[in-house]
Amino acid sequence: MWIKNKKINLLEKAINKLNNMLQEGNYLELTYLLGNKKEIMIRNLIAGIFRGIGIGIGVTLITAILIILLQKIVTLNIPIIGEYIADIVDIVERSR
């Protein structure tokens, strides 16, 4: 009886260890996704749309900040740098 209980305890420990390894590695979620191609496509489509929107907003904000900074540098009337920056700002404003 004692040997049987010992074997059961060892088996329970091994099962718990395997369960923990599967949970840590997210293997259950991975196998679920591999089985459902339609869900993978929908998730990737939505992720791609939001990445594109994020990139667009980020580039717009950074460009706006750079233009504002360049305009402020132009107002400082630095001889050589001011002319180049003024040309850049004019090109950007013409392209709007």
* Boundaries of every domain in the chain: 1-35, 37-96
**What was the pLDDT predicted at 4?**
73
Helix (H, G, I), strand (E, B) or coil at 25: coil
**What was the pLDDT predicted at 28?**
67
Instruction: Burial-class residue 73 by CB neighbours within 10 Å (0-12, 13-18, 19+).
Output: middle
DSSP at 78: -
> Which tens digit of pLDDT belongs to each residue from 8-49?
888 888 888 888 877 777 776 777 767 778 888 888 899 999
pLDDT exceeds 80 at position 74: no
Instruction: Burial-class residue 45 by CB neighbours within 10 Å (0-12, 13-18, 19+).
Output: exposed
83 CB-side CA count, 13 A: 2
